[in-house]
Structure 1
Amino acid sequence: MLDVRRLHMLKTVTARGSIAAAAQALGLSAGAVSQQLSALRRDVGVDLLRPDGRTVALTEAGRVLLEHADRILAAVQEAESAVASVRGTVGAAVTLAALPSTVARIVAPALHELGVRHPRLTVTCLVTDQAQLRELTLGAVDVVLGQRYHHLPDATPRGVAVSPLLDDPLLVVTAAGQADERPVALRELATHSLAVPPATTDCGQAILHAFHQAGFTATTPYITADIAAQLTLARAGLATALVPRTAIDPATPGIRTAPIEDHPILRRLFAATRHTETTNPTTAAVVAALRTAAREGRAEVRTPPLPPA
């Protein structure tokens, strides 16, 4: 009989590209992963992986087995959720992956609420902007607080359930005293020195897309994904920054914020879990807490909804 844990290792190795990377993600030694994969190979009687440069790739038999493994692992997840639903209580542990820009205004309030409502629940929070939904599909995390910018198509992986939380606009941030709080036409920024994220990030792409729509190429002497650095440059009068509303503490001294009036740049924040037919009480509790925290933020941010993808 096939071992579910070994199937999960095969899936992880395939996604990570190497046994070493999979071992690191699984918290195991590379030797332990290799031994389990060798045992899986003996179980099926055929090679499942082959060298591919510095990585590994599936053989044809490995590809076929992985297709079945995805369905088997999904069924196991469904069974776990069904049992948890019958039990009707929140579990003991859950892992949340969240964007750095959401920690202060959404994640921290949500974790506080979870601590009050479910004191026995231990939440491990991974603050990262890298491949959260892939980590969700691999089972490395249980809930993702992610984002999608309005100009990008919906690329939600199969088997993932998404709950929209908040439409979050980017605001124009300058040093206090350099501008008033009136809405800013995006083309006005053509004459500004800007601090923006790299073009390789979703936010950087969204900003460049908006500039293109507005018909200009911006001057961007400061390239950084660090929002604290962007705000510091703005406060010093060295640059104008474009920062998501939820990432700005309203009490931050020395800055002034203004909305964009003509080409708004919006991101949709969402909570994502692995899709199951039966609601898992533990992940549902986390999503509910994130939704409550986002609702408080929504009361402060009055923006039009995102256009369809």
Structure 2
Amino acid sequence: MLDIRRLHMLKTVVARGSITAAAHSLALTAGAVSQQLSALRSDVGVELLRPNGRTVALTEAGRVLLEHADRIIAAMEEAESAIAGVKGTVGATATLAALPSTVTRIVAPALTTLDSCHPQLTVTCLITDQAQLRELALGTVDVVLGQRYHHLPDATPRGIHISPLLDDPLLVVTAADQGEGRPVILQELAAHDLAVPPPTTDCGQAILQGCHRAGFTPTPRYITADIAAQLTLARAGLATALVPRTAIDPTTPGIRTTPIADHPIKRLLFAATRHTENANPTTNAVVAALRTAAQAGQTACLPPAQE
């Protein structure tokens, strides 16, 4: 009989690209993973992986087995969710992956709510902007608080359920004593020293496309994905930044925030879980807390400009 743990290892190795990377993510040694894959190969009597440069690739038999492994693992999770639904109680642990820009106004309030409403639940939080949905599909995390900029197509992996939380517009951020406080025409920023993310990032691409729609190509003075650095430069009067509203701490002093009037640039913030036919009370509780925090954050006041 096939061992589901070995099937999961096969899936992880293929997703990570190598035995070493898979072992790191599973908190195992590469030797232990290799040993389990060898046992799986013996179970089925055929090679499942082949070298592919510095990575590994599936053989035809491996591809067929992985298709079945996906269904088997999904069925196991469905069974676990069904049992959890029958019990009707929130579990003891959950893992959340969230974007750094959502910590202040969504993640921290949501975790505070969960701690109050479900004190038995311990949520481990992974703050990262890298490949959250892949981690969700692999079972490394249970809930993802992710983003998708509106210029990007929907690339949600199969088997993932998306719950939209809110549209999060980028705001124009300057020093408190700069600007007029009125909504900004995007074209006006052509004459500003800008602090923006690299064009290789989703946010950087969204800003670039928004500026192109407004009729100009931006020439940034400062390029950084660090939002804290962008806000520091803006507060010092050195640059104008374009920052998602949710990423701005309402208590931040010394800045002025204004909306874009004509070519708004937005990201969709969403909560993602693995799709199951039976609702899981634990992940439902985490998503509900995120939704409540997102709605509260949407109505929270931004810092007033200080003259």
What residue is the counterpart of 2:109 in the other structure? Answer: 109
Give the TM-score normalised by structure 1.
0.96
What residue is the counterpart of 1:39 in the other structure? Answer: 39
Question: Secondary structure of 1:112's partner?
Answer: helix
Shift of 1:151: 1.2
Give the TM-score normalised by structure 2.
0.97
1:23-45 CA deviation, whole Å, 9 max, x = no partner?
11111111111111000000000
Shift of 1:299: 2.6
What residue is the counterpart of 1:183 in the other structure? Answer: 183
CA contact 1:180–1:256 (8 Å) conserved in 2: no
Runs of 5+ consecutive residues of structure 2 not aligned to the other structure: 302-307
Structure 1 residue 2 corresponds to structure 2 residue 30: no
Matches within 5 A, 1:147-226: 147-226=147-226
Question: Secondary structure of 1:56's partner?
Answer: strand
Same amino acid, percent of matched pairs: 80
Matches within 5 A, 1:245-256: 245-256=245-256
Question: Secondary structure of 2:243's partner?
Answer: strand
What residue is the counterpart of 1:289 in the other structure? Answer: 289
What residue is the counterpart of 1:306 in the other structure? Answer: none
CA RMSD of aligned residues (A): 0.9
Shift of 1:101: 0.3
Shift of 1:193: 0.9
1:115-164 CA deviation, whole Å, 9 max, x = no partner?
00111111000000001001000001000000011111111111000100
Residues in 2 aligned to 1:194 and 1:268: alpha-carbon distance in whole angstroms: 23
Shift of 1:300: 4.3
Shift of 1:298: 2.6
Structure 1 residue 124 corresponds to structure 2 residue 124: yes
CA contact 2:246–2:298 (8 Å) conserved in 1: no
Residues in 1 aligned to 2:298 and 2:275: alpha-carbon distance in whole angstroms: 26
Letter in 1 for 2:260: I
CA contact 1:191–1:219 (8 Å) conserved in 2: no
Residues in 1 aligned to 2:241 and 2:53: alpha-carbon distance in whole angstroms: 42
Letter in 1 for 2:125: C
Structure 1 residue 11 corresponds to structure 2 residue 11: yes
Question: Secondary structure of 2:220's partner?
Answer: strand
What residue is the counterpart of 1:305 in the other structure? Answer: none
Runs of 5+ consecutive residues of structure 1 not aligned to the other structure: 302-309
Matches within 5 A, 1:46-125: 46-125=46-125
Question: Secondary structure of 1:219's partner?
Answer: coil
Question: Secondary structure of 1:217's partner?
Answer: coil
Structure 1 residue 21 corresponds to structure 2 residue 21: yes
Q: Report how many aligned residue pairs link the two structures.
A: 301
Residues in 2 aligned to 1:200 and 1:81: alpha-carbon distance in whole angstroms: 38
CA contact 1:196–1:220 (8 Å) conserved in 2: yes
Shift of 1:221: 1.9
CA contact 1:165–1:268 (8 Å) conserved in 2: yes
Shift of 1:62: 0.4
